[in-house]
Amino acid sequence: MTSAIETLISDFELIDDWEERYRYVIELGRGLPVMPDALKSPATKVNGCASQVWIHSRIIDSHMDLKGDSDALIVKGLIAIAFMIFAPLTLAEIEQVNAQDIFAKLGLKDHLTPQRSNGLASMVARIKADARAGLQPG
């Protein structure tokens, strides 16, 4: 687990109120770099999300450079959390991560709507699929 995720888990433990946690997640999303509109295409759109979600990945030296955006503030924050989990890792390490365990530690598993939980799972599946594709020779 990366230090950013360990810090995030600690931060979440300090915030008792879920409304405050949601605000914190939204702030994380606001911290994402702006994703250029040119990268928002059918190829980068994540299916399975109730909101519009785009994730663009580029392989650089066995790591993923991730860019993402959503039309929903809370979902944009969830993208930021997913990037905190996966961006520091190598392509090979990404496949080994059990993101659901991390989401459970953050309490997200119990406090997201089923649609958002499904969307988050779709984001993770996209990142892992892109990492697997990056590991393929050629």
Q: What residues does each domain of the chain span?
A: 3-135
Residue 80 CB: number of other CB atoms within 10 A? 21
What's the chain's average pLDDT?
93
Nearest C-alpha neighbor of 86 from the set 71, 68, 69? 68
Given a cut of 70, whether residue 127 has pLDDT beyond it is yes
Q: How far, in Å, CA of 52 to CA of 97, rounded?
A: 25
Q: How far, in Å, CA of 45 to CA of 40, rounded?
A: 7
Given a cut of 90, whether residue 108 has pLDDT beyond it is no
Query: Count of residues for the chain?
Result: 138
- What's the confidence (pLDDT) of residue 136? 86
Given a cut of 70, whether residue 138 has pLDDT beyond it is no
Q: What is the pLDDT of residues 75-101, one digit of tens each?
A: 999 999 999 999 999 999 999 999 999
Under the banding of pLDDT at 50, 70 and 90, the label for residue 24 is: very high
**Top CATH class, 3-135:** alpha beta
| Residue 116 near residue 74 (C-beta atoms within 8 A) | yes
Given its phi and psi angles, is residue 132 left (phi above 0), alpha (psi -120 to 50 degrees) or beta? Answer: alpha
Catalytic positions are: 49
Residue, of 22 and 136, whose pLDDT is higher: 22
- What's the confidence (pLDDT) of residue 95? 92
Residue, of 79 and 136, whose pLDDT is higher: 79
In which residue are the tokens 């990037």 written? 83
Q: What is the pLDDT of residues 33-81, one digit of tens each?
A: 999 999 999 999 999 888 999 999 999 999 999 999 999 999 999 999 9
Given a cut of 80, whether residue 1 has pLDDT beyond it is no
Q: Both tokens of residue 11?
A: 């931060």
Q: Which burial class, exposed, middle or buried, applies to 91 when counting CB atoms under 10 A from its CB (0-12, 13-18, 19+)?
A: buried
